[in-house]
Structure 1
Amino acid sequence: MEFGNNRQQKALTAINELNILNDLSRYDPILCGTIPLQIDIEDSDLDIIFYVTNFSEFEDKVLKLYSHLSDFKLERKRIRDEDVVKANFNFKGFEFEMFGQNQPTHKQHAYLHMIVQAEVLKRDESMKCKVIELKEKGYKTEPAFCEVLGIDGDPYIGLLEYGEKKGFIN
């Protein structure tokens, strides 16, 4: 993103000012989502995923570093039968969503979805406009991709299955 568009550069500046990638480096952070792929819309957030094995320790660290920021919220919950820690806050015009689970970041769904999406966009640049158009109509990213690709069913699972079938992920 260092050489990306204006919004990507602003996002990188905000991430660097917060020092998230360094302060939380032991959790193998990866920036995922729409901004790295240039398919973001005005209210797109910055999604950063983390590999967390000790939720209490991670929560304490996140509270210490970011609880003073605007609209800070931290919660632990279960998603698809997995414990997760989620923190949200606003900084420099961006909503941040930090998502930690006990799974290596390169195996988490958010990362795998981004890999599949990047491969789809690389192979067919016209998809970009179609996905953005659907997102502006209220679609989330994965359902927008599935709509454009003609994938039925659960879009979060369907996109992964599509990526596996096409050899984008294994």
Structure 2
Amino acid sequence: MLFVGMIDFTKLDYLKVGNNRQRRAYELITKQRFFEKMDFYSPILAGTVPIEIDIEGSDLDIIFELDFRFEEDFLEDLMFSKFIPNDRDIKVEYPIINGEKCIIINFILEDFPIEIFGQNKPTCKQNAYLHMIAEHKILQEKGEDFKQKIIELKKKGIKTEPAFGILLGLENPYEDLLKM
């Protein structure tokens, strides 16, 4: 669904008509009915795939709102969703980001690297979502050449926010993108 040149990233419909990787992501997520099964946690696909600046090896970043008092329920729901494979290649971390406990779960599903990020904050207020929205607006304003420069920087190993920072002359891209 489009809103004056903007995509409603809280829904997955835009992926159906996207590039090949976006359509594959849509098929994977909808085939598993993953967002339906995990709806209670307000999942959103964030990161580079939705805004078409992903490179080979880029993961699907799925963010969740998670009250850590119910962390065990969340993990059970994830396992019940059958989205997470039952193998040894699952990595779980509990970083503290900006003073807040988070959970990050990484695994591979059907050749897609997946990163699940849970934080006790509404998904539309999480930095991953806010950065993606700001980056999408910038990409819309700056055009295809700018987009290709971002992709080239990413291919050189530069992360997304620093790549935007380099091209836009931002001193602290993680903070400055939130102000845009």
Q: Calculate the TM-score normalised by the size of structure 1.
A: 0.89
CA distance in 2, matches of 1:36, 1:23: 21
Task: Give the drift of 1:72.
Answer: 1.7
**1:90-105 alignment, distance < 5 Å:** 90-105=108-123
Which stretch shows the higher mean deviation, 28-37 or 70-79?
Answer: 70-79
C-alpha contact 1:146 1:152 (8 A) present in aligned 2: yes
C-alpha contact 2:85 2:109 (8 A) present in aligned 1: no
The amino acid across from 1:10 in the alignment is: R
Structure 2 portions without partners, runs of 5+: 1-14
1:55 counterpart (71, 75, 90): 71
Task: Give the drift of 1:67.
Answer: 4.5
CA change 1:63–1:139 in 2 (3 A) is same
CA distance in 2, matches of 1:76, 1:62: 16
Q: Calculate the TM-score normalised by the size of structure 2.
A: 0.84
Task: Give the drift of 1:58.
Answer: 1.1
* Partner residue, 1:152: 171
Which stretch shows the higher mean deviation, 10-19 or 138-147?
Answer: 10-19
CA distance in 2, matches of 1:142, 1:19: 30
The amino acid across from 2:100 in the alignment is: E
CA distance in 1, matches of 2:49, 2:72: 29
CA distance in 1, matches of 2:103, 2:165: 27
C-alpha contact 1:40 1:132 (8 A) present in aligned 2: yes
**1:12-91 alignment, distance < 5 Å:** 12-53=26-67, 54-64=70-80, 65=82, 66-68=84-86, 71-91=89-109
Query: What number of residue pairs does the alignment pair up?
Result: 161
The amino acid across from 2:113 in the alignment is: E
Which stretch shows the higher mean deviation, 65-74 or 18-27?
Answer: 65-74
* Partner residue, 2:16: 2
* Partner residue, 2:6: none
CA distance in 2, matches of 1:60, 1:77: 20
CA change 1:76–1:62 in 2 (3 A) is farther
* Partner residue, 2:153: 134
Runs of 4+ in 1 over 3 A off after TM superposition: none
CA distance in 2, matches of 1:70, 1:90: 11
CA distance in 2, matches of 1:69, 1:19: 20
The amino acid across from 2:49 in the alignment is: I
In the TM superposition, what whole-angstrom CA distance separates every residue of 1:92-120 from its partner, at most 9, and x where no partner exists? Answer: 11101010100000000000000000000
Cα RMSD for the two superposed structures: 1.4
